[in-house]
Amino acid sequence: MATWLPSSTWVRPPAPAAGAPHTGLLLHGILGSARNLRTLATQLSARLPRWQWLLVDLRNHGDSRGAPPPHTVAACAQDLAALCQHLGLQPAAAIGHSFGGKVALELARPAAAPLWPALQRVWALDTQPHLTAAQDQAVAAAGHGAVAQVVAVLRQCPGPFASRTAMASQLLELGLAAGVAQWMTTNLVQGADGLRWRFDLPAVEQMLESYFATDSWPILAAPAAGVDLHLLRAGREPRWTPAVLDQLARSAHPHLHQHVLANSGHWVHVDDLAGLLDLLATDLQYL
């Protein structure tokens, strides 16, 4: 039986530098897809001509359909290993946003080191090391959005939909913010009976449960040899509580680098793309 592989697309520099390129993985968040990070990849390629970027649709998202269970953070990391083996490449960097950041951190577990012999950098973009479902709900109750709330609304809107406008109207009526409803219109695909979701919602819910259950603190404390971790947090994201920041301060070591985009919300690659590019390019240009 053939190994299941996630869908992926390449973004390569317009004027590649001489020699073999470095490869980086770009991993989106829950309910997203690889296309969310295409602008980031394109601008990184322009600034780093020695790098090429593989944008991956994580299982049950985008064009990555039909993945076998279990639908977990660890399974996503195994999918990446299978994909890279299939393509015959060894990435030097992995950059993930939110859920994708937690998947990227999995590559830096010491036990995973044999699968990633060329890995030198892992960037987790506004990824909580261990945000539990209860903690997320507490923040949401204070008036801030939560992915679990979005998922709960989506359960009430299985589709199909006559148009993107009709879908957005349903989400607004059920209490989603206008920006979230508009973003969700990018997750529709044309079916025989109308527009349907691109993702498998029950499987996505299992992935979200795994995100809340997966503790990345041990990875931050002791990553695989040769891997530098970069944890970037959004300055306007309320889930970075004083308790989490205190634990981060106590976790400091030479291979853990912490960054803040002070004026950004959770969507750091949208809210402060220029600042994010500066941080990434400054680090990766020396590999």
Q: What is the pTM of this model?
A: 0.94
219 and 187 inside one domain: no
What pLDDT, on a 0 to 100 scale, did the predictor assign at position 161?
92
Put the strands of the sheet holding 121-125 in their side by side order.
Answer: 8-11, 51-56, 22-27, 93-97, 121-125, 228-234, 256-261
For the chain, the average pLDDT equals 92
When pLDDT is averaged across residues 141-158 and rounded to a whole number, the result is 76
User: Distance between CA 220 and CA 151 in Å, rounded?
Assistant: 29
Residue 17 CB: number of other CB atoms within 10 A? 12
Counting the structural domains of the chain, the total is: 2
94 and 138 inside one domain: no
152 and 216 inside one domain: no
248 and 109 inside one domain: yes
105 and 126 inside one domain: yes
Stronger pLDDT, 179 or 171, i.e. the higher one: 171
What pLDDT, on a 0 to 100 scale, did the predictor assign at position 151?
84
- End-of-domain residue from the set 169, 199, 229: 199
What pLDDT, on a 0 to 100 scale, did the predictor assign at position 276?
97
82 and 141 inside one domain: no
Q: Are 86 and 5 in contact (CB under 8 A)?
A: yes
Percent of the chain at pLDDT exceeding 70: 98
Would you say residue 2 lies in a domain?
no
141 and 19 inside one domain: no
Q: CATH number, domain at 107? A: 3.40.50.1820
Residue 20 identity (one-letter amino acid): A
Q: Are 211 and 71 in contact (CB under 8 A)?
A: no
Q: Are 55 and 8 in contact (CB under 8 A)?
A: yes
| pLDDT bracket for residue 19 (50, 70, 90) | confident
What pLDDT, on a 0 to 100 scale, did the predictor assign at position 165?
92
| pLDDT bracket for residue 137 (50, 70, 90) | confident
17-31, 70-84, 140-154: lowest mean pLDDT where? 140-154
Range of the domain at 257: 8-131+208-284
When pLDDT is averaged across residues 67-72 and rounded to a whole number, the result is 97
Q: Are 241 and 8 in contact (CB under 8 A)?
A: no
When pLDDT is averaged across residues 129-143 and rounded to a whole number, the result is 79
Stronger pLDDT, 198 or 280, i.e. the higher one: 280
Q: Are 46 and 16 in contact (CB under 8 A)?
A: no
123 and 138 inside one domain: no
Would you say residue 3 lies in a domain?
no
33 and 109 inside one domain: yes
Please name the residue ranges forming H helices in 174-229. Answer: 178-184, 201-213, 217-221
What pLDDT, on a 0 to 100 scale, did the predictor assign at position 86?
97
- End-of-domain residue from the set 144, 178, 199: 199
When pLDDT is averaged across residues 113-120 and rounded to a whole number, the result is 97
- End-of-domain residue from the set 155, 178, 199: 199
User: Distance between CA 212 and CA 136 in Å, rounded?
Assistant: 9
What pLDDT, on a 0 to 100 scale, did the predictor assign at position 142?
58
What pLDDT, on a 0 to 100 scale, did the predictor assign at position 119?
98
107 and 220 inside one domain: yes
Is the predicted pLDDT of residue 109 greater than 70, yes or no? yes
When pLDDT is averaged across residues 203-213 and rounded to a whole number, the result is 95
149 and 116 inside one domain: no
Name the burial class of residue 14, with classes exposed (0-12), middle (13-18) and buried (19+) by CB atoms within 10 angstroms of its CB. Answer: exposed
User: Distance between CA 17 and CA 51 in Å, rounded?
Assistant: 8
Would you say residue 1 lies in a domain?
no
Report which of 22, 29, 15, 9 is spatially closest to residue 281, judged by C-alpha positions.
22
226 and 87 inside one domain: yes
